Structure 1
Amino acid sequence: MERIRHALDAALKASHLIMKYYEGEIEVETKADQSPVTIADKEADELIRKVLEDTGLPILSEEHPIPPHDERLQWEQFWMVDPLDGTKEFIKKNGEFTINIALLENNVPVGGVIAAPASNIVYFGESGYGSFKSELSPETENLNDIFKNVTPLQPEDFKNDDTLKVAVSRSHLDDTTVKYIEKLKKDYDVDTTSAGSAIKIGLLAEGKAHIYPRFSPCMEWDIAAGFGIVNQLDFQFISTENQKKLNFNKKDLHVNGFIALKDKKFL
């Protein structure tokens, strides 16, 4: 798990940096796509890139120019980074933002780190090692502290008499998602939990949610780290466009909807 240790180190350092801005006044700019960005996004990106550069692997990040697709297709292994996922939640100061770092091999996420700085939680995993959660403190400074408080994750499968727990987006809950949940309610007792950023994927990893549907667009870096974590736990990310597993490192990095689940009967 040496490569994921680099990602954990990067996420820990970025967490401390982001929280310094979170505790003060947040200045917001608007990007070309009309999404918000802050200095915390930009500086966290630079810090994470600096740490990951030691691995020698290419880095694809939301806050950095995207290399041409032909070049990216030559990458056998690379990092995919969202230095501050949930910028809207960060600006609202509701604590529901994360740092997402994914490791991809042959365009498939095989490992990932999701750090939730305001909650002092980090999820991580890698193919062949499993998936884990560690509860930190604001004073956590090194990787040894992360591994001292680690808990292996192995959520139980859904049973038909269970309450079906569904994680939904706090900022992107659309009519299609509402209709999907109403359809589920015809056959199951359904409980929904709203959360921002990749925290919803953390809920899957902990067994606090069975399904995470998202019918509105997002970007690959929003979910790649989570894919790399919960894929170890038998979850799949199924495209709402073609009912197939999501592909990564596409020419267009948009994802036009997915459902994360274990059991395809919920599609």
Structure 2
Amino acid sequence: MDSKNDFFLAALTASIEAGRAILEVYDKSDYGVTSKEDSSPLTEADLISSKIINEHLTQTPFPIISEEVKTEKKSLRESWTTCWVVDPLDGTKEFIKRNGEFTVNIALCHDGIPISGVIYTPVTRELYYARVKDEVAFKTVLNENHEVTDGFFNERDHIQPSTIDRKKIRIVGSRSHMNEDTIDFMTGLKTKYDAVEIVSKGSSLKFCLVAEGKADIYPRFAPTMEWDTAAGHAICNAVGLKVISQDTNDELLYNKESMLNPYFLVTQ
């Protein structure tokens, strides 16, 4: 599998280097936590990761949409047929809580559709990645130095969704915090299945749970931004899953006028 001509290696390398730098901050006692205009937390790790990723991706021909870089107006982005969509540290709250469930997200989108995605989990050194056209996704575990010992794209690293058990369905959600829309959705599932099991995870790892067969469905009936979802969306599409907007009943789109996503459902 050739990964040199589509800039995929740039994303893989950037995610790993950013993840390594994030852990250097994670090991400190002070994360340098501040607040953004929307009151969401910002740490030294967010900024360092963003800088590293931008250094790699600015060497490609494609512009960047990133959580930590001011987004250009849609009138300027309309000519961006292909662009990166990046979250340098997805799950900053998880990072601050020190539960390890935070990631680096990098996706490449073409005409509003994710065509490749990379998600790196620095604490567990799990690297999820996929190019949608190849119709396969991978999970490679790096060594303690954050190095890929046997290369990318090994067949043994393939991941795939599970076949849904008609008696039980595993739904990605929060065990302690669910809004009314999600509860209503789950209530509907209980009429179709004997049991509904909740599987909980932070950040974009929710997508990975479904892509690797550890959960069956992921309803997201709460606000997310494009950089939260693009990489996971690509990985899910590569293994045959759909990420469906609850507004349009079509796949989520990217590089929209607003970076805010509608509610969506990840399903087979």
When normalised by structure 2's length, the TM-score is 0.91
* Correspondent of 2:38 among 33, 40, 43: 33
* Correspondent of 1:22 among 16, 22, 26: 26
* Correspondent of 1:99 among 67, 82, 104: 104
| CA distance, structure 2, for counterparts of residue 173 and residue 14 of structure 1 | 32
Q: Which digits, 9 at most, give the CA deviation of each residue in 1:111-134, with x for residues without a partner? A: 100111112101000022221110
Q: Look up the SS of the partner of 2:253 in the other structure.
A: coil
| CA distance, structure 1, for counterparts of residue 38 and residue 225 of structure 2 | 12
* Correspondent of 1:238 among 241, 244, 248: 244
| CA distance, structure 1, for counterparts of residue 76 and residue 141 of structure 2 | 38
* Correspondent of 2:73 among 62, 68, 79: 68
Unaligned runs of 5+ in 1: 263-267
- Which of 30-39 and 167-176 deviates more? 167-176
Q: Look up the SS of the partner of 1:9 in the other structure.
A: helix
Which residue does 1:160 correspond to in 2? 166
Whether 1:174 aligns to 2:179 is yes
* Correspondent of 2:198 among 183, 188, 192: 192
When normalised by structure 1's length, the TM-score is 0.92
Q: Point out 4+ residue stretches in structure 1 off by more than 4 angstroms.
A: 142-150, 169-172
| CA distance, structure 2, for counterparts of residue 250 and residue 190 of structure 1 | 34
Unaligned runs of 5+ in 2: none
1:170 to 1:17, Cα distance in 2 relative to 1, 3 A:
farther
1:60 to 1:47, Cα distance in 2 relative to 1, 3 A:
same
1:47 to 1:218, Cα distance in 2 relative to 1, 3 A:
same
1:139 to 1:145, Cα distance in 2 relative to 1, 3 A:
farther
Whether 1:119 aligns to 2:120 is no
Q: Which amino acid aligns with 1:131?
A: A
- Which of 136-145 and 175-184 deviates more? 136-145
Q: Which digits, 9 at most, give the CA deviation of each residue in 1:208-248, with x for residues without a partner? A: 11111111111011000011111011211112233332221
Superposition CA RMSD, Å: 1.9
* Correspondent of 1:217 among 201, 215, 223: 223
Q: Is the 8 A contact 2:105 2:227 kept in 1?
A: yes
Whether 1:78 aligns to 2:78 is no
Q: Look up the SS of the partner of 2:123 in the other structure.
A: helix
Q: Which digits, 9 at most, give the CA deviation of each residue in 1:182-217, with x for residues without a partner? A: 221122121111111001111011111111111111
| CA distance, structure 2, for counterparts of residue 211 and residue 43 of structure 1 | 33
Give 1:178 shift.
Answer: 2.1
